[in-house]
């Protein structure tokens, strides 16, 4: 009973370790990026410009004559794991544009979700754009454009938000998806660990058939052990026919066989003792099927988090 108890403890300990390998990186990711916000400058383009070819072209905006009109696209995204409320905005996100980047206007292009309340205000005197909101949930974003008469855009962005070290600024990022963000490092760790657990579980199913056949043979008394052979032959038989058990589980049986004289073939009494040892081993060994099922479920379940993270939904 002590041996069976120690094997069960080792099995459960292994399952706990596998589960920890999946849950610990997830918990680390959730705590590490609990509150985060990012400003992405996704594009900059010149809408219209007066050149040598179009010298007679007059460009005006709000009654002001200009050389050109350019547009800078921005996305403000909550990339953390918790919502940001207005009470946490000690200083809302601000974009301060350089003096050589005069801002003409600011236009909100898109918000997600559609009912997201937001105020994007332009202070022309200070050349500053301020973005405020009552609530910005996880993965919520605000896409807006800044019109300027400059040929390039120069700015500095900042915010003071409770729990946020600083406003992350990504300049001129190619915009694939407004809500898209890099998968956290823990997602890759979980993906590798879950894959290893899944592969181990699938590989273990190969032992389920031989295990059932050997147990049926032992129950019916038809183990078909070789007759009058040397102990080395029976050691090979145990390692081959009982390969679905662990080395630790087979150790008492191997020790029994090794106790017989190496150069003397076993008699009927020795064979009977080996058969009894095999039956004892099969009775105490942890079944492979439940362990494989648990590992496969852990592996498949562990992939849920990486998939959601790679899709930007974790």
Among candidate residues 155, 178, 201, the one where a domain is terminated: 178
In a domain, 302, yes or no: no
Q: How far is CA 231 from the centre of its chain?
A: 51
Ranges 53-62, 206-215, 221-230: which has the least confidence? 53-62
Question: What is the mean pLDDT of the segment spanning 157-177?
Answer: 76
Q: In whole angstroms, what is the distance from residue 20 CA to residue 186 CA?
A: 13
Q: Are residues 97 and 62 in the same domain?
A: yes
Ranges 45-54, 69-78, 92-101, 144-153: which has the least confidence? 45-54
Residue 245: the pLDDT is 87
Residue 20: the pLDDT is 81
Q: In whole angstroms, what is the distance from residue 235 CA to residue 134 CA?
A: 73
R_g (Cα) of the chain, nearest Å: 34
Q: Are residues 141 and 217 in the same domain?
A: no
In a domain, 151, yes or no: yes
Q: Are residues 228 and 106 in the same domain?
A: no
Confidence category of residue 21, pLDDT binned at 50, 70, 90: confident
pLDDT digits (tens, 9 = 90+) for 70-114: 999 999 999 888 899 999 889 999 999 999 989 999 999 999 999
Overall number of domains in the chain: 2
Q: How many residues does the chain have?
A: 314
Q: Would the pLDDT of 131 be above 90?
A: yes
Residue 226: the pLDDT is 85
Q: In whole angstroms, what is the distance from residue 14 CA to residue 99 CA?
A: 63
Ranges 43-57, 205-219, 226-240: which has the least confidence? 43-57
Residue 175: the pLDDT is 44
Q: In whole angstroms, what is the distance from residue 270 CA to residue 278 CA?
A: 12
CA angle 199-200-203, nearest 5°? Answer: 85
Indicate the average pLDDT of the chain.
84
| Domain containing residue 226 | 2-28+188-293
Q: Are residues 125 and 219 in the same domain?
A: no
Q: Are residues 76 and 126 in the same domain?
A: yes
- 227 contacts 271 by C-beta, under 8 angstroms: yes
């Amino acid at each position: 009973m002590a041996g069976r108890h120690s094997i069960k403890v080792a099995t459960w300990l292994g399952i706990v370790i596998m589960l920890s390998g999946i849950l610990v990186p997830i918990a680390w990711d959730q705590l590490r990026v609990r509150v985060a916000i990012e400003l992405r400058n996704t594009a900059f383009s010149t809408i219209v410009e007066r050149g040598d070819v179009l010298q007679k072209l007059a460009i005006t905006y709000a009654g002001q004559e200009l050389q050109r009109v350019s547009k800078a696209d921005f996305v403000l995204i909550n990339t953390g794991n918790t919502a940001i409320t207005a009470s946490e905005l000690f200083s809302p996100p601000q974009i301060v544009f350089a003096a050589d980047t005069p801002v003409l206007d600011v236009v909100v292009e898109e918000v997600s979700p559609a009912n997201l309340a937001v105020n994007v205000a332009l202070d022309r005197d200070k050349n500053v754009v301020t973005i405020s909101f009552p609530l910005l949930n996880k993965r919520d974003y605000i896409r807006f454009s800044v019109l300027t008469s400059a040929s390039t855009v120069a700015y500095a962005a900042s915010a003071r938000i409770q729990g946020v070290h600083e406003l992350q600024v990504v300049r001129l990022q190619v915009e694939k998806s407004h809500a898209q963000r890099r998968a956290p490092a823990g997602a890759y760790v979980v993906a590798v660990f879950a894959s290893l657990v899944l592969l181990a579980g699938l590989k273990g199913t190969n032992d389920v058939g031989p295990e059932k056949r050997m147990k049926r043979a032992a129950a019916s008394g038809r183990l078909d052990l070789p007759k009058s052979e040397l102990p080395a032959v029976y050691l090979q038989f145990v390692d081959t026919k009982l390969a679905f058990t662990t080395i630790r589980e087979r150790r008492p049986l191997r020790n029994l066989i090794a106790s017989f004289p190496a150069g003397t073939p076993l008699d009927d009494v020795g064979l009977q003792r080996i058969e009894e040892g095999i039956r004892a081993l099969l009775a105490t060994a942890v079944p492979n099927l439940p362990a494989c099922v648990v590992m496969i479920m852990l592996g498949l379940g562990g992939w849920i988090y990486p998939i959601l993270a790679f899709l930007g939904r974790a």
